[in-house]
Amino acid sequence: MSTAALVPSAATVRKRNWLTHWSLAGKLGLAVIAFWGAVALVAPFLPVALGEMSDAGVFEGVSVQHWLGTDYLGRDMLVRIVAGTPYTIGVALVATLIACTLGAVLGLLAAVAGGWLDQAISRFLDTLISIPSKMLSLVIIAGFGSSVPLLIAVAAIVYTPGCFRIIRSLAVNINAMDYVVVARARGERRPYIMRREILPNIAGPLLADMGLRFVYALRLLASLSFLGLGVQPPMADWGSLVRENLGALPVGGAAVLAPALAIATLTIAVTLVIDNLPGHTDADRETH
């Protein structure tokens, strides 16, 4: 008799109603993320040319033709923002994934191995963390010139040490638990202990950290673009859109407010979702 066939397993039961525990704010955040995600996926296939000039004036206000006004060259702002979405989200997301994967693997390894390996990894990443992140990224970009892969690499390098620190400190605690000692006494190898014994128990904080890093990466890229070192024209991410259209600020033009608002909505939405991840809701705290 197979034990799995009897009743739906715990995992499927949990999957079915995971959303019901979410607060309204969390669901709202999820909706906003889904919206921007959809925009990012659809944008490359839209039949509008990115750098296309129009006969509209510069810094025009909101109108029927231009829902979000026009930018400093008279281009449609809505098109610019939609076209910039994949760069903004894509670069930040890939950089975050790389940083968190690297940080998690190194953090788990350092915690499980201990000794000189832990010391070596920790001290190296401590060195990295002690260099101011903006300075580091400016130097790297100044040296190699800006490109999308380089931006991803820069953000990944900047955020790996922070992620490593958090994962290592969580993993060190779990590593001291009896079930890890049992696994070790059973003769388990390091990768198994890292992946099966420790990782599931720190998945909640890891996801939350990932969300936070995503927000940081988004901001780092926006500020690099704002300095003119990010995504290069004619392409633009949201940060460069803010910079390009800074001239609209005195007149309160939509051209500068709209991309700033886009950055704000996405980062706030991610933060709201983080608060609802497993291990972070009030309901979870009560049961533990």
Partner 1 sequence: MGATVLVNELRVVAHVAGGGETPIVKDVSFRIEPGEVLALIGESGSGKTTIGLALMGYARRGCSIVGGSVRIGDTDVLGLSEAGRRQLRGRRVAYIAQSAAASFNPSRTIMDQVVETAHIHSLMPRAEAEKKAVQLFRELALPHPETIGQRYPHQVSGGQLQRLMAAMALMSDPDLVILDEPTTALDVTTQIEVLHAFRRVVRERRTTAVYVTHDLAVVAQMADRILVLRDGAQREIGATPQIISQPQDDYTRSLIAAANPKARGGEAVAEGATPLLEVRQLVAGYGPLDKHGKPAAPVLDDVSLKLHRGQAIGVIGESGSGKTTLARVVAGLIGPAGGQVLFDGKPLPRLVEQRSHEELRRIQIVFQMADTALNPSHTIADILARPLQLYRGLKGDALDKRIAQLLDLVQLPQACARRLPAGLSGGQKQRVNLARALAADPDLILCDEVTSALDTVVGAAILDLLAQLRKELGVAYMFISHDLNTVRAVCDDIVVLYAGQKVEAMSRSAFSHAPRHPYFHLLATSVPELRPEWLDQVGAARRATLPLIAAPADRAGLCSFLDRCPLRVADQCDTRTPPRRELEGGVEVFCHRSAADLLALQRVPEPRPEVAA
CA-nearest of 108, 76, 266, 287 to 199 is 108
> What DSSP string runs through 1-16?
--GGGSS--HHHHHHH
Binding residues for partner 1 (CB under 8 A): 1-4, 6-7, 9-10, 177-179, 181-188, 196-197, 200-201, 203, 283, 286-287
Instruction: Tell me how far apart the alpha carbons of residues 129 and 114 are, in angstroms, rounded to a whole number.
Output: 20
Q: Do residues 112 and 198 lie in contact, with contact meaning Cβ atoms separated by under 8 Å?
A: yes
**Residue 235, SS3 per DSSP:** coil
Residue 187 or 252: which CB sits closer to partner 1? Answer: 187
C-beta pairs of 283-287 under 8 Å, 24+ apart in sequence: 283/21, 284/204
Residue 4 or 135: which CB sits closer to partner 1? Answer: 4
* Residue 277 C-beta: closest distance to partner 1, Å: 15
Find all residues with CB under 8 Å of 193, minimum gap 6, and list them.
Answer: 112, 175, 180, 183, 184
Residue 1 or 135: which CB sits closer to partner 1? Answer: 1
* Residue 143 C-beta: closest distance to partner 1, Å: 44
Give alpha helix (H) positions in 178-198: 178-185, 190-192
* Residue 95 C-beta: closest distance to partner 1, Å: 28
* Residue 181 C-beta: closest distance to partner 1, Å: 6
Residue 7 or 64: which CB sits closer to partner 1? Answer: 7
Residue 55 or 178: which CB sits closer to partner 1? Answer: 178
* Residue 116 C-beta: closest distance to partner 1, Å: 15
**Residue 101, SS3 per DSSP:** helix
* Residue 186 C-beta: closest distance to partner 1, Å: 6
CA-nearest of 283, 282, 262, 253 to 80 is 262
Residue 2 or 130: which CB sits closer to partner 1? Answer: 2
